[in-house]
Chain A
Amino acid sequence: MNTFKKLSLVGLAVASVGAGAQYAHAADQTGNASAVIQNPIVITEDTAMDFATIIADAAGDTVTLTAAGSISSTGSSTFSGTPAAGAFSVTGTPSAAVTLSFSTGDTLTGPGTAMNLGTFTHDAGGSPAFDVGGALAFDVGANLTVNATQTAGSYSGTYTVTVDYQ
């Protein structure tokens, strides 16, 4: 009699466990994700370089415009008007060090012989870098080679400034 009772209890217990089972059997897994972030360098010219008016030495001359905007020459040319250094503002990765470089072989063209533009200088210092806000501003000067008996008139041209992460 005792054994019968035990067996029936076991039987009931197993059956009730069976009837109650509605297992979800869910599975979960970790997914991985990644990205590489790069800040672009964006350069804007705020002021075009301008040698203003050069009353040229007839023998030709090398005119220097400094990054501070002052003008002088090795010969006897004189100057009038308002010369201006080129001015640029740049954005990029905050606090990142950069290198500045310039194109070569540029000229100003106009009514007469093309005048070589080169020997660029800047005032960003020896270790230019973006500030903590990711900004950098600098001015650019250059040398202009005036030819002998340079025809009077307006001359213009372009040059390229490159800012790169170090």
Chain B
Amino acid sequence: MTIRSIIILVLFSGFLFFIPKALLAKPVGSLREITEMSFGTITVDSSGDTITLSPSGGITTQGTSIVSGTYAAAEFTVSGDKNTAFSISFSSGDSLTGPGTSMSLGSFTHSAGTSPVFDNKGKALFTVGASLTINSPQIDGSYSGTYTIFVDYT
């Protein structure tokens, strides 16, 4: 009886020693969109254009389109292990659809830098920009679409 109890104790303590850090790590979670990406109102260059929204919220055009109204970079918050590195990646092949030809949305950029890290409270906040390709012609109206953002430990 006593020997069996000792063996059981040894087995369980061995198990506790073997738990790797990953099982105890906080999962990446609470990835939330705080601000939606918007390109505002684009009075388009008739030969098409590429509009680039930077993570800082600035907007530039390759051609002669004029951007007005309220435009904004997207903003996300995410939580994870404090002071731990993480990576951000994006879907491809996304587009904005509406009354006319769909417009490609891609070339995503973000403000978290080349080595994103959760802060000492396990939080991160960053903005996202992208490029929008306008066709020639591009019918007037409202266009919208979605993309996917992935956050992972490195």
A76-106, CB under 8 A of B: which get 1 and which 0?
A: 0000000000000001011010000000000
* Complexed CA–CA distance, A25 and B27 (Å): 5
Residues 2-48 (chain A) with a chain B CB within 8 angstroms? 3-4, 7-8, 11-12, 14-15, 18-19, 21-40, 42
* Complexed CA–CA distance, A25 and B18 (Å): 20
Given that A7-B11, A35-B40, A134-B137 are known contacts, is A26 also in contact with B152, CB under 8 Å in the complex? yes
List, in ascending order, chain B residues with CB within 8 A of A23's CB. 22-23, 25, 27
List, in ascending order, chain A residues with CB within 8 A of B78's CB. 27
For chain B, give the interface size range: 35 or more
Size of the chain A interface, CB-CB below 8 angstroms? 37
Given that A28-B149, A35-B40 are known contacts, is A15 also in contact with B128, CB under 8 Å in the complex? no
Q: Is the CB of B37 within 8 A of A27?
A: no
B47-61, CB under 8 A of A: which get 1 and which 0?
A: 000010000000000
* Complexed CA–CA distance, A33 and B39 (Å): 8
* Complexed CA–CA distance, A40 and B96 (Å): 20
* Complexed CA–CA distance, A56 and B122 (Å): 89
List, in ascending order, chain A residues with CB within 8 A of B26's CB. 25
Q: Is the CB of B25 within 8 A of A33?
A: no
B42 in contact (CB, < 8 A): yes
Q: Is the CB of A31 within 8 A of B148?
A: yes
B151 in contact (CB, < 8 A): yes
* Complexed CA–CA distance, A43 and B18 (Å): 77
* Complexed CA–CA distance, A4 and B51 (Å): 70
| B32–chain A nearest beta-carbon distance, Å | 7
Chain B CB within 10 Å — which of A21, A25, A33, A93 has the most? Answer: A33
Given that A27-B29, A34-B96 are known contacts, is A39 also in contact with B38, CB under 8 Å in the complex? no
List, in ascending order, chain B residues with CB within 8 A of A12's CB. 11
A23-B22, A26-B150, A39-B46 known, 4 other contacts, Cβ within 8 Å: A33-B37, A33-B105, A34-B39, A37-B141
Residue pairs across A and B with Cβ atoms less than 8 A apart, 27 shown, are: A4-B4, A7-B8, A18-B15, A19-B20, A21-B22, A23-B22, A23-B27, A25-B153, A26-B28, A26-B153, A28-B31, A28-B149, A29-B148, A30-B147, A31-B149, A33-B38, A33-B39, A33-B96, A34-B38, A35-B38, A35-B96, A36-B141, A37-B42, A37-B100, A37-B143, A39-B138, A91-B46
B residues near A (Cβ < 8 Å) are: 4, 7-8, 11-12, 14-15, 18-20, 22-23, 25-33, 36-44, 46, 51, 66, 69, 74, 76, 78, 80, 94, 96, 98, 100, 103, 105, 128, 130, 132, 134, 137-153
A residues near B (Cβ < 8 Å) are: 3-4, 7-8, 11-12, 14-15, 18-19, 21-40, 42, 91, 93-94, 96, 133-134
